[in-house]
Amino acid sequence: MLKTLDSALKVLKMFTREKPVWGGRELANELGMNHTNIYRILETFEKNRFITKDEVTKKYSLGYATWELGIIMYESLNIQKLIRPILEQLMEKTGESIFLTILDRDEAVTLEVLEPENKVKFSVSAGSRAPLYVGASYRSILAFLPEEFVESVIEIGLVKYTKTTMTDPDILRAELEKIREQGWAESQSEYTEDVIALAVPLFDDKEIIGSLTVSGPVYRMSDENIQKYLPQLKEARDEVAQVIQRYQLKFKA
């Protein structure tokens, strides 16, 4: 791998939803890179419109060229035409928020978010990323990945996002086994307070590629509703899987 290109891509990937703006020296310190090299990389990205510089603050954020590539990639997946109608039907049936999450190497990214009108909205949005052990959307994916991968996730460290985030390795392993046995995952307030999420794994030719989730506030997600939503969630998941296979859509990197 070309060292300069690798460094440049690491810089670009630092611009996330959680931290979309960086100063040059701040980036250099965070990445442990030479300040001069960082500024050369930033200038090159700026020249090609992948990054833009605020002339007042002298800080950097993503540019329109990055957005254009993202739009091209998103449209190539045919989500709007082929998959979104299925998610919309599920949202109408449940009256709750629906998330399509896709595995991207050692993380998961929220690819599509549908939220009903006139109801509480969540902080999760399209493009959001999270570790694979946090919450139902992500754990329902982790449960079907190789044991070696699971152990590598645990070895890196389990960060507590809320007081109920699952960070005990033994409890996590037991939960993953439970998910494999019952075929679905549930979480409460692990990533966002006072929210319950139900998720089912999404496969492409028996290979795990993501998950489908229905999520709502604790006061609406009663046991009765959970039991009603699960069959609807699984049915929608199966429809999405059929579309992926029929049209040979490629989600996994």
Is the alpha carbon torsion for 28, 33, 37, 42 positive or negative?
Answer: negative
Task: Based on the fold, state whether residues 120 and 195 are members of the same structural domain.
Answer: yes
Q: Which helix (H) or strand (E) is 3 found in, with range?
A: helix 3-12
Residue where a domain stops, chosen among 22, 49, 68:
68
pLDDT of residue 99: 96
Is 198 strand, coil or helix?
A: strand
63: containing domain: 3-68
Domain identity same for 46 and 118: no
What is d(CA 108, CA 200) in angstroms, rounded to the nearest whole number?
Answer: 14
pLDDT score at 81: 83
| Same domain for 187 and 128 | yes
Say if residues 108 and 130 touch (Cβ distance below 8 Å): yes
**Domain match, 43 and 132 both:** no
Q: Which residues contact 52 (CB under 8 A, 6 or more apart)?
A: 46, 60, 61, 62, 63, 64
Q: Kindly report the pTM of this predicted structure.
A: 0.73
H/E segment holding residue 60: strand 60-62
Same domain, 169 and 99: yes
78: its two tokens: 């045919």
Return d(Cα 10, Cα 5) in angstroms, integer. 9
Q: Is residue 105 very low, low, confident or very high in pLDDT (cuts 50, 70, 90)?
A: confident
CA–centroid distance for 50 within its chain: 22
pLDDT for the residue 198: 97
CA distances from 218 to 1, 140, 162, 173, 251 (A): 48, 20, 15, 25, 31
For the chain, give the longest Cα–Cα distance: 60
pLDDT digits (tens, 9 = 90+) for 126-142: 778 889 999 999 999 99
Mean pLDDT, the chain, as a whole number? 90
CATH code where residue 82 lies: 3.30.450.40
By the 10 Å C-beta count (0-12 exposed, 13-18 middle, 19+ buried), 148 is classed as exposed
Domain match, 132 and 211 both: yes
253 versus 4: which is more confidently predicted?
A: 4
The residue among 86 and 245 whose pLDDT is bigger is: 86
**What is the number of structural domains in the chain?**
2
In the prediction, which pLDDT does 120 show? 59
CB atoms < 10 A from the CB of 22, how many? 21
Q: Are 45 and 94 contained in the same domain?
A: no
